[in-house]
Amino acid sequence: MKALAEDLGRSQAEAYFCDIGSGILEINETLRGLRRWARPELHLSGIVCFPSVFTKVYHMPYGVSLIISPFNFPVLLSLGVLTASIAAGNTAIIKVSSKSPACSAALRELVGSCFPREYVAVVEGGHNVADLCLAERVDKIFYTGSPRIGVHVMEAAARNLIPVSLELGGQTGNWCIVRKDADLRDAARKIAFFKLCNSGQICININQVAVASEAADEFIAELATAFRRQIGENAVENPEYPRLISPDAYKKCAEEAELYRKRIVFGGIGDPDALRYAPTIIYPVTADEDIVRHELFNPLLPVVPFPDERVEDILDTIAGREHGLALYLFTKDLKWAERVMSCQQYGGGCVNEVCLHLMVKGVPFSGVGRSGMGAYHGKWGFMEFSHPSTVLYGSRHFNLPLREHPYSGGSNNLKFSLLKLFER
Protein backbone atom coordinates (compact mmCIF):
# COMPACT_ATOMS: atom_id res chain seq x y z
CA MET A 1 0.00 0.00 0.00
CA LYS A 2 2.87 2.36 0.81
CA ALA A 3 4.49 1.68 -2.56
CA LEU A 4 1.22 2.20 -4.45
CA ALA A 5 0.71 5.50 -2.64
CA GLU A 6 4.25 6.58 -3.46
CA ASP A 7 4.06 5.72 -7.18
CA LEU A 8 0.42 6.49 -7.98
CA GLY A 9 -1.01 8.40 -5.04
CA ARG A 10 -3.44 5.58 -4.30
CA SER A 11 -5.50 5.66 -1.11
CA GLN A 12 -5.54 2.47 0.96
CA ALA A 13 -9.08 1.53 -0.13
CA GLU A 14 -8.33 1.98 -3.83
CA ALA A 15 -4.99 0.21 -3.51
CA TYR A 16 -6.63 -2.79 -1.90
CA PHE A 17 -9.70 -2.92 -4.17
CA CYS A 18 -7.79 -2.55 -7.44
CA ASP A 19 -4.47 -4.27 -6.84
CA ILE A 20 -4.09 -6.24 -3.62
CA GLY A 21 -7.56 -7.67 -3.01
CA SER A 22 -8.04 -8.50 -6.69
CA GLY A 23 -4.73 -10.36 -6.62
CA ILE A 24 -5.83 -12.34 -3.57
CA LEU A 25 -9.06 -13.30 -5.37
CA GLU A 26 -7.00 -14.57 -8.30
CA ILE A 27 -4.69 -16.61 -6.07
CA ASN A 28 -7.51 -18.16 -4.05
CA GLU A 29 -9.50 -19.10 -7.16
CA THR A 30 -6.41 -20.85 -8.51
CA LEU A 31 -5.72 -22.68 -5.25
CA ARG A 32 -9.28 -24.00 -5.18
CA GLY A 33 -9.40 -25.05 -8.83
CA LEU A 34 -5.88 -26.10 -9.76
CA ARG A 35 -6.13 -29.82 -8.95
CA ARG A 36 -9.24 -30.06 -11.15
CA TRP A 37 -7.80 -27.96 -14.00
CA ALA A 38 -4.51 -29.88 -14.11
CA ARG A 39 -6.09 -33.33 -14.17
CA PRO A 40 -5.48 -35.05 -17.54
CA GLU A 41 -8.58 -35.11 -19.72
CA LEU A 42 -9.82 -38.60 -20.62
CA HIS A 43 -11.44 -39.10 -24.03
CA LEU A 44 -12.75 -42.17 -25.85
CA SER A 45 -10.62 -42.76 -28.92
CA GLY A 46 -13.57 -43.60 -31.15
CA ILE A 47 -14.21 -46.44 -33.57
CA VAL A 48 -11.82 -45.06 -36.20
CA CYS A 49 -8.94 -45.63 -33.74
CA PHE A 50 -9.98 -49.19 -32.77
CA PRO A 51 -8.63 -51.12 -30.91
CA SER A 52 -7.46 -48.10 -28.92
CA VAL A 53 -10.08 -47.33 -26.25
CA PHE A 54 -8.93 -44.11 -24.60
CA THR A 55 -6.84 -41.02 -25.22
CA LYS A 56 -5.56 -38.52 -22.67
CA VAL A 57 -4.83 -34.81 -22.98
CA TYR A 58 -2.10 -33.61 -20.63
CA HIS A 59 -1.72 -29.92 -19.76
CA MET A 60 1.99 -29.29 -20.03
CA PRO A 61 3.94 -26.19 -18.94
CA TYR A 62 5.71 -24.20 -21.64
CA GLY A 63 8.88 -23.81 -19.57
CA VAL A 64 10.27 -20.35 -18.81
CA SER A 65 7.70 -17.55 -18.97
CA LEU A 66 8.52 -13.87 -19.36
CA ILE A 67 5.93 -11.56 -17.78
CA ILE A 68 6.23 -7.87 -18.72
CA SER A 69 4.01 -5.87 -16.39
CA PRO A 70 2.83 -2.23 -16.59
CA PHE A 71 2.88 0.69 -14.16
CA ASN A 72 -0.84 1.27 -13.72
CA PHE A 73 -1.63 -1.90 -11.72
CA PRO A 74 1.88 -2.98 -10.83
CA VAL A 75 0.87 -5.54 -8.18
CA LEU A 76 -2.17 -7.19 -9.77
CA LEU A 77 -0.72 -7.33 -13.28
CA SER A 78 2.52 -8.86 -11.98
CA LEU A 79 1.38 -11.30 -9.31
CA GLY A 80 -1.96 -12.09 -10.99
CA VAL A 81 -0.18 -13.21 -14.15
CA LEU A 82 2.51 -14.97 -12.11
CA THR A 83 -0.24 -16.97 -10.40
CA ALA A 84 -1.36 -18.37 -13.75
CA SER A 85 2.19 -19.04 -14.88
CA ILE A 86 3.38 -21.05 -11.88
CA ALA A 87 0.00 -22.78 -11.55
CA ALA A 88 0.64 -24.25 -14.99
CA GLY A 89 4.10 -25.39 -13.90
CA ASN A 90 6.32 -22.73 -15.46
CA THR A 91 9.20 -20.80 -14.04
CA ALA A 92 8.90 -17.04 -14.46
CA ILE A 93 10.84 -13.86 -15.08
CA ILE A 94 8.86 -10.72 -14.18
CA LYS A 95 10.05 -7.55 -15.91
CA VAL A 96 8.50 -4.84 -13.73
CA SER A 97 7.88 -1.27 -14.87
CA SER A 98 10.53 1.40 -14.39
CA LYS A 99 7.72 3.99 -14.13
CA SER A 100 6.57 2.64 -10.75
CA PRO A 101 9.90 2.17 -8.92
CA ALA A 102 8.51 1.85 -5.39
CA CYS A 103 6.16 -0.97 -6.42
CA SER A 104 8.94 -2.63 -8.42
CA ALA A 105 11.19 -2.61 -5.36
CA ALA A 106 8.39 -3.96 -3.17
CA LEU A 107 7.68 -6.76 -5.66
CA ARG A 108 11.36 -7.65 -5.86
CA GLU A 109 11.50 -7.92 -2.08
CA LEU A 110 8.23 -9.88 -1.81
CA VAL A 111 9.00 -12.36 -4.59
CA GLY A 112 12.59 -12.76 -3.39
CA SER A 113 11.36 -13.68 0.09
CA CYS A 114 8.97 -16.33 -1.27
CA PHE A 115 10.72 -18.02 -4.19
CA PRO A 116 14.28 -19.01 -5.13
CA ARG A 117 15.56 -16.84 -7.95
CA GLU A 118 15.89 -19.77 -10.36
CA TYR A 119 12.13 -20.33 -9.97
CA VAL A 120 10.76 -16.76 -10.03
CA ALA A 121 12.95 -13.73 -10.67
CA VAL A 122 12.06 -10.03 -10.72
CA VAL A 123 14.01 -7.87 -13.17
CA GLU A 124 14.03 -4.07 -12.93
CA GLY A 125 15.09 -1.50 -15.51
CA GLY A 126 13.91 0.47 -18.54
CA HIS A 127 13.21 -0.39 -22.16
CA ASN A 128 16.78 -1.55 -22.78
CA VAL A 129 16.42 -4.18 -20.05
CA ALA A 130 13.06 -5.25 -21.48
CA ASP A 131 14.70 -5.71 -24.89
CA LEU A 132 17.43 -7.85 -23.31
CA CYS A 133 14.71 -10.03 -21.77
CA LEU A 134 12.89 -10.29 -25.11
CA ALA A 135 16.11 -11.38 -26.80
CA GLU A 136 16.31 -14.42 -24.52
CA ARG A 137 15.00 -17.79 -25.71
CA VAL A 138 12.12 -18.04 -23.26
CA ASP A 139 9.13 -20.33 -23.87
CA LYS A 140 6.16 -17.99 -23.32
CA ILE A 141 5.76 -14.19 -23.22
CA PHE A 142 2.90 -12.37 -21.50
CA TYR A 143 2.85 -8.60 -22.05
CA THR A 144 0.43 -6.01 -20.65
CA GLY A 145 0.64 -2.48 -22.05
CA SER A 146 0.09 -0.42 -25.17
CA PRO A 147 -0.60 -1.73 -28.69
CA ARG A 148 2.51 0.08 -29.97
CA ILE A 149 4.81 -1.83 -27.63
CA GLY A 150 2.74 -4.96 -28.20
CA VAL A 151 3.83 -4.89 -31.85
CA HIS A 152 7.46 -4.63 -30.72
CA VAL A 153 7.01 -7.59 -28.35
CA MET A 154 5.51 -9.73 -31.12
CA GLU A 155 8.33 -8.84 -33.50
CA ALA A 156 10.91 -9.89 -30.93
CA ALA A 157 9.03 -13.10 -30.12
CA ALA A 158 8.68 -14.00 -33.80
CA ARG A 159 12.45 -14.32 -34.18
CA ASN A 160 12.37 -17.37 -31.91
CA LEU A 161 8.74 -18.44 -32.61
CA ILE A 162 7.80 -17.80 -28.99
CA PRO A 163 4.04 -17.87 -28.24
CA VAL A 164 2.75 -14.53 -26.99
CA SER A 165 -0.21 -13.33 -24.94
CA LEU A 166 -1.02 -9.62 -25.17
CA GLU A 167 -3.34 -7.61 -22.95
CA LEU A 168 -3.50 -4.16 -24.56
CA GLY A 169 -5.48 -1.01 -23.94
CA GLY A 170 -7.19 -0.67 -27.28
CA GLN A 171 -5.83 1.72 -29.87
CA THR A 172 -8.96 3.86 -30.25
CA GLY A 173 -10.18 3.51 -26.69
CA ASN A 174 -13.17 1.90 -25.00
CA TRP A 175 -16.67 3.24 -25.68
CA CYS A 176 -19.59 3.70 -23.31
CA ILE A 177 -23.08 4.23 -24.77
CA VAL A 178 -25.81 5.87 -22.69
CA ARG A 179 -29.29 5.57 -24.24
CA LYS A 180 -32.06 8.07 -23.50
CA ASP A 181 -33.96 5.44 -21.48
CA ALA A 182 -30.99 4.79 -19.15
CA ASP A 183 -31.06 5.55 -15.44
CA LEU A 184 -28.90 8.64 -15.88
CA ARG A 185 -28.07 9.15 -12.21
CA ASP A 186 -26.97 5.53 -11.83
CA ALA A 187 -24.93 5.70 -15.05
CA ALA A 188 -23.28 8.97 -14.03
CA ARG A 189 -22.40 7.62 -10.58
CA LYS A 190 -20.70 4.54 -11.97
CA ILE A 191 -18.92 6.34 -14.80
CA ALA A 192 -17.62 9.00 -12.38
CA PHE A 193 -16.25 6.31 -10.04
CA PHE A 194 -14.51 4.57 -12.89
CA LYS A 195 -12.97 7.70 -14.38
CA LEU A 196 -11.67 8.76 -10.96
CA CYS A 197 -10.16 5.31 -10.34
CA ASN A 198 -6.39 5.50 -10.82
CA SER A 199 -6.97 8.89 -12.49
CA GLY A 200 -8.21 7.15 -15.63
CA GLN A 201 -5.03 5.11 -16.07
CA ILE A 202 -6.83 1.79 -16.63
CA CYS A 203 -6.76 -0.26 -19.80
CA ILE A 204 -10.49 -1.07 -19.55
CA ASN A 205 -11.52 2.46 -18.58
CA ILE A 206 -14.06 4.50 -20.53
CA ASN A 207 -12.32 6.56 -23.17
CA GLN A 208 -15.40 8.36 -24.44
CA VAL A 209 -19.14 8.39 -23.71
CA ALA A 210 -21.69 8.44 -26.51
CA VAL A 211 -24.90 9.79 -24.95
CA ALA A 212 -28.33 10.23 -26.54
CA SER A 213 -28.70 13.94 -27.32
CA GLU A 214 -32.20 13.87 -25.79
CA ALA A 215 -30.59 13.09 -22.41
CA ALA A 216 -27.18 14.74 -22.83
CA ASP A 217 -27.73 17.88 -20.72
CA GLU A 218 -29.24 15.93 -17.84
CA PHE A 219 -26.53 13.28 -18.03
CA ILE A 220 -23.72 15.85 -17.93
CA ALA A 221 -25.32 17.58 -14.95
CA GLU A 222 -25.61 14.23 -13.14
CA LEU A 223 -22.01 13.34 -14.05
CA ALA A 224 -20.66 16.64 -12.70
CA THR A 225 -22.69 16.15 -9.52
CA ALA A 226 -21.32 12.60 -9.14
CA PHE A 227 -17.73 13.84 -9.53
CA ARG A 228 -18.28 16.52 -6.89
CA ARG A 229 -19.90 14.08 -4.47
CA GLN A 230 -17.18 11.48 -4.82
CA ILE A 231 -14.01 13.58 -4.96
CA GLY A 232 -15.04 17.11 -3.94
CA GLU A 233 -15.26 20.43 -5.75
CA ASN A 234 -11.54 20.45 -6.49
CA ALA A 235 -10.18 16.96 -7.08
CA VAL A 236 -6.65 18.29 -7.47
CA GLU A 237 -6.53 19.22 -3.78
CA ASN A 238 -8.01 15.93 -2.56
CA PRO A 239 -5.25 13.63 -1.23
CA GLU A 240 -7.40 10.57 -2.09
CA TYR A 241 -7.31 11.40 -5.79
CA PRO A 242 -4.57 9.39 -7.58
CA ARG A 243 -1.99 11.17 -9.69
CA LEU A 244 -0.72 10.64 -13.19
CA ILE A 245 2.34 8.46 -13.38
CA SER A 246 4.89 10.98 -14.68
CA PRO A 247 5.43 14.60 -15.73
CA ASP A 248 5.19 13.48 -19.36
CA ALA A 249 1.80 11.88 -18.73
CA TYR A 250 0.60 15.05 -16.99
CA LYS A 251 1.86 17.26 -19.80
CA LYS A 252 0.16 15.14 -22.45
CA CYS A 253 -3.14 15.27 -20.54
CA ALA A 254 -2.97 19.03 -19.89
CA GLU A 255 -2.01 19.87 -23.48
CA GLU A 256 -4.86 17.82 -24.92
CA ALA A 257 -7.31 19.48 -22.52
CA GLU A 258 -6.12 22.89 -23.73
CA LEU A 259 -7.00 21.97 -27.32
CA TYR A 260 -10.61 21.62 -26.17
CA ARG A 261 -10.61 24.39 -23.56
CA LYS A 262 -13.71 26.10 -24.96
CA ARG A 263 -15.71 22.88 -24.67
CA ILE A 264 -14.72 21.92 -21.13
CA VAL A 265 -17.91 21.94 -19.07
CA PHE A 266 -16.42 20.48 -15.89
CA GLY A 267 -12.88 20.25 -14.54
CA GLY A 268 -10.04 21.40 -16.72
CA ILE A 269 -7.66 22.26 -13.88
CA GLY A 270 -4.49 20.59 -12.73
CA ASP A 271 -1.41 20.76 -10.54
CA PRO A 272 1.81 19.92 -12.40
CA ASP A 273 3.77 19.62 -9.16
CA ALA A 274 1.35 17.07 -7.68
CA LEU A 275 0.80 15.44 -11.12
CA ARG A 276 -2.95 15.62 -10.54
CA TYR A 277 -5.38 16.66 -13.27
CA ALA A 278 -9.06 16.95 -12.38
CA PRO A 279 -11.68 14.74 -14.03
CA THR A 280 -12.66 16.77 -17.09
CA ILE A 281 -15.85 16.58 -19.14
CA ILE A 282 -15.49 17.81 -22.73
CA TYR A 283 -18.78 18.45 -24.55
CA PRO A 284 -19.88 18.33 -27.31
CA VAL A 285 -17.43 16.24 -29.29
CA THR A 286 -18.08 14.53 -32.61
CA ALA A 287 -17.18 10.90 -33.23
CA ASP A 288 -14.60 11.92 -35.86
CA GLU A 289 -12.46 14.23 -33.70
CA ASP A 290 -8.94 13.27 -32.76
CA ILE A 291 -9.63 13.00 -29.02
CA VAL A 292 -11.92 9.99 -29.61
CA ARG A 293 -9.57 8.31 -32.07
CA HIS A 294 -6.83 7.33 -29.62
CA GLU A 295 -6.55 5.93 -26.10
CA LEU A 296 -6.42 8.75 -23.54
CA PHE A 297 -5.27 6.92 -20.37
CA ASN A 298 -6.04 9.96 -18.23
CA PRO A 299 -9.07 11.68 -16.58
CA LEU A 300 -10.29 13.48 -19.72
CA LEU A 301 -13.76 12.35 -20.76
CA PRO A 302 -15.12 13.49 -24.15
CA VAL A 303 -18.90 13.20 -24.55
CA VAL A 304 -20.30 12.47 -28.01
CA PRO A 305 -24.02 13.30 -28.45
CA PHE A 306 -26.14 11.36 -30.93
CA PRO A 307 -29.89 11.12 -31.71
CA ASP A 308 -31.12 8.05 -29.89
CA GLU A 309 -32.82 6.70 -33.01
CA ARG A 310 -29.40 6.79 -34.73
CA VAL A 311 -27.68 4.57 -32.17
CA GLU A 312 -26.90 2.03 -34.89
CA ASP A 313 -24.72 4.66 -36.56
CA ILE A 314 -22.67 4.93 -33.37
CA LEU A 315 -22.35 1.13 -33.29
CA ASP A 316 -21.19 1.15 -36.92
CA THR A 317 -18.57 3.77 -36.02
CA ILE A 318 -17.30 1.66 -33.13
CA ALA A 319 -17.26 -1.50 -35.27
CA GLY A 320 -15.31 0.31 -37.98
CA ARG A 321 -12.44 1.19 -35.66
CA GLU A 322 -9.89 -0.91 -33.81
CA HIS A 323 -11.56 -3.27 -31.35
CA GLY A 324 -11.63 -2.01 -27.79
CA LEU A 325 -10.70 -3.95 -24.70
CA ALA A 326 -14.09 -3.09 -23.19
CA LEU A 327 -17.58 -1.92 -24.12
CA TYR A 328 -20.16 -0.49 -21.72
CA LEU A 329 -23.89 0.06 -22.29
CA PHE A 330 -26.44 1.86 -20.12
CA THR A 331 -30.06 1.22 -21.08
CA LYS A 332 -33.30 -0.32 -19.86
CA ASP A 333 -33.68 -2.15 -23.18
CA LEU A 334 -31.92 -5.37 -22.26
CA LYS A 335 -32.90 -7.13 -25.49
CA TRP A 336 -31.11 -4.42 -27.48
CA ALA A 337 -28.14 -4.58 -25.11
CA GLU A 338 -27.88 -8.36 -25.45
CA ARG A 339 -27.99 -8.11 -29.24
CA VAL A 340 -25.22 -5.50 -29.23
CA MET A 341 -23.00 -7.37 -26.80
CA SER A 342 -23.39 -10.60 -28.77
CA CYS A 343 -22.52 -8.98 -32.12
CA GLN A 344 -19.83 -6.36 -31.52
CA GLN A 345 -16.12 -7.16 -31.29
CA TYR A 346 -14.51 -6.19 -27.96
CA GLY A 347 -12.61 -7.81 -25.12
CA GLY A 348 -15.27 -7.78 -22.40
CA GLY A 349 -17.75 -5.39 -20.89
CA CYS A 350 -20.84 -4.61 -18.85
CA VAL A 351 -24.47 -3.63 -19.24
CA ASN A 352 -25.56 -1.00 -16.70
CA GLU A 353 -22.27 -1.41 -14.85
CA VAL A 354 -18.57 -0.68 -15.27
CA CYS A 355 -15.37 -2.73 -14.87
CA LEU A 356 -16.74 -5.47 -12.58
CA HIS A 357 -16.58 -8.11 -15.33
CA LEU A 358 -12.87 -8.11 -14.49
CA MET A 359 -13.61 -9.61 -11.06
CA VAL A 360 -16.05 -12.42 -11.96
CA LYS A 361 -14.62 -15.84 -11.14
CA GLY A 362 -14.48 -18.55 -13.78
CA VAL A 363 -14.65 -16.25 -16.81
CA PRO A 364 -11.84 -15.06 -19.11
CA PHE A 365 -10.32 -11.61 -19.37
CA SER A 366 -9.07 -10.97 -22.88
CA GLY A 367 -8.70 -8.56 -25.77
CA VAL A 368 -9.24 -8.94 -29.49
CA GLY A 369 -7.38 -7.44 -32.43
CA ARG A 370 -5.45 -4.33 -31.37
CA SER A 371 -6.65 -4.79 -27.79
CA GLY A 372 -4.86 -8.08 -27.36
CA MET A 373 -4.79 -11.85 -27.79
CA GLY A 374 -5.03 -14.73 -25.38
CA ALA A 375 -7.08 -14.89 -22.17
CA TYR A 376 -6.43 -15.34 -18.49
CA HIS A 377 -7.90 -15.30 -14.95
CA GLY A 378 -8.63 -18.54 -13.12
CA LYS A 379 -8.77 -21.62 -15.32
CA TRP A 380 -8.29 -19.47 -18.44
CA GLY A 381 -4.91 -18.32 -17.11
CA PHE A 382 -3.90 -21.91 -16.40
CA MET A 383 -4.84 -22.84 -19.97
CA GLU A 384 -3.00 -19.81 -21.40
CA PHE A 385 0.26 -20.84 -19.72
CA SER A 386 0.01 -24.54 -20.60
CA HIS A 387 -0.15 -26.37 -23.90
CA PRO A 388 -2.29 -29.48 -24.48
CA SER A 389 -0.49 -32.71 -25.34
CA THR A 390 -2.70 -35.46 -26.77
CA VAL A 391 -1.62 -39.07 -26.13
CA LEU A 392 -3.45 -42.08 -27.55
CA TYR A 393 -2.98 -45.37 -25.73
CA GLY A 394 -2.94 -48.21 -28.26
CA SER A 395 -3.40 -51.95 -27.98
CA ARG A 396 -1.26 -54.92 -28.98
CA HIS A 397 -4.35 -57.00 -29.75
CA PHE A 398 -7.22 -56.96 -32.30
CA ASN A 399 -5.39 -54.62 -34.67
CA LEU A 400 -7.10 -54.57 -38.08
CA PRO A 401 -5.12 -54.16 -41.33
CA LEU A 402 -7.39 -51.43 -42.74
CA ARG A 403 -4.65 -48.74 -42.78
CA GLU A 404 -1.92 -51.04 -44.08
CA HIS A 405 -0.82 -51.88 -47.62
CA PRO A 406 -1.77 -53.36 -49.98
CA TYR A 407 -4.45 -50.89 -51.13
CA SER A 408 -5.29 -52.95 -54.23
CA GLY A 409 -6.52 -56.39 -55.00
CA GLY A 410 -9.53 -58.23 -53.66
CA SER A 411 -9.45 -56.74 -50.19
CA ASN A 412 -9.43 -53.14 -51.43
CA ASN A 413 -13.20 -52.80 -51.78
CA LEU A 414 -13.78 -54.12 -48.27
CA LYS A 415 -11.12 -51.82 -46.79
CA PHE A 416 -12.52 -48.82 -48.62
CA SER A 417 -16.09 -49.55 -47.50
CA LEU A 418 -15.05 -49.94 -43.87
CA LEU A 419 -12.96 -46.74 -43.93
CA LYS A 420 -15.93 -44.81 -45.33
CA LEU A 421 -18.09 -46.28 -42.58
CA PHE A 422 -15.67 -45.52 -39.75
CA GLU A 423 -14.47 -42.07 -40.85
CA ARG A 424 -17.69 -40.14 -40.38
Per the residue annotation, which of 176, 197, 203, 253 is the catalytic one? 203
Query: What pLDDT, in 10s, does the model give residues 141-150?
Result: 999 999 999 9
pLDDT of residue 409 exceeding 80: no
Query: What pLDDT, in 10s, does the model give residues 166-214?
Result: 999 888 899 999 999 999 999 999 999 999 999 999 999 999 999 999 9
pLDDT of residue 410 exceeding 80: no
Segment 357-380 mean pLDDT: 94
Q: What is the pTM of this model?
A: 0.94
- Burial of 121: CB neighbours in 10 Å, binned 0-12, 13-18, 19+: middle
Per the residue annotation, which of 14, 26, 133, 167 is the catalytic one? 167
pLDDT of residue 88 exceeding 90: yes
Distances (CA, A) of 40 to 43, 54, 64, 224, 235: 10, 12, 22, 54, 53
- Burial of 278: CB neighbours in 10 Å, binned 0-12, 13-18, 19+: buried
**Residues 139 and 162 sit within 8 Å (Cβ to Cβ):** yes
- 424 band by pLDDT with thresholds 50, 70 and 90: confident
What pLDDT, on the 0 to 100 scale, is given for residue 414?
Answer: 81
- 413 band by pLDDT with thresholds 50, 70 and 90: confident
Residues 6+ apart with CB under 8 A from 309: none
Segment 16-34 mean pLDDT: 95
Segment 252-281 mean pLDDT: 97
- 164 band by pLDDT with thresholds 50, 70 and 90: very high
What pLDDT, on the 0 to 100 scale, is given for residue 423?
Answer: 80
- 75 band by pLDDT with thresholds 50, 70 and 90: very high
What pLDDT, on the 0 to 100 scale, is given for residue 417?
Answer: 83
- 263 band by pLDDT with thresholds 50, 70 and 90: very high
Pairing of strands 375-376, 365-366: antiparallel
**Residues 198 and 242 sit within 8 Å (Cβ to Cβ):** yes
Which domains does the chain possess? 2-170+374-388 (3.40.605.10), 174-321+324-360 (3.40.309.10)
Query: What pLDDT, in 10s, does the model give residues 273-320?
Result: 999 999 999 999 999 999 999 999 999 999 999 999 999 999 999 999
Q: Is 240 a catalytic residue?
A: no
Q: What is the mean pLDDT of the chain?
A: 95
What pLDDT, on the 0 to 100 scale, is given for residue 98?
Answer: 96
Q: Is 118 a catalytic residue?
A: no
Segment 111-137 mean pLDDT: 96
Segment 346-370 mean pLDDT: 95
What pLDDT, on the 0 to 100 scale, is given for residue 402?
Answer: 79
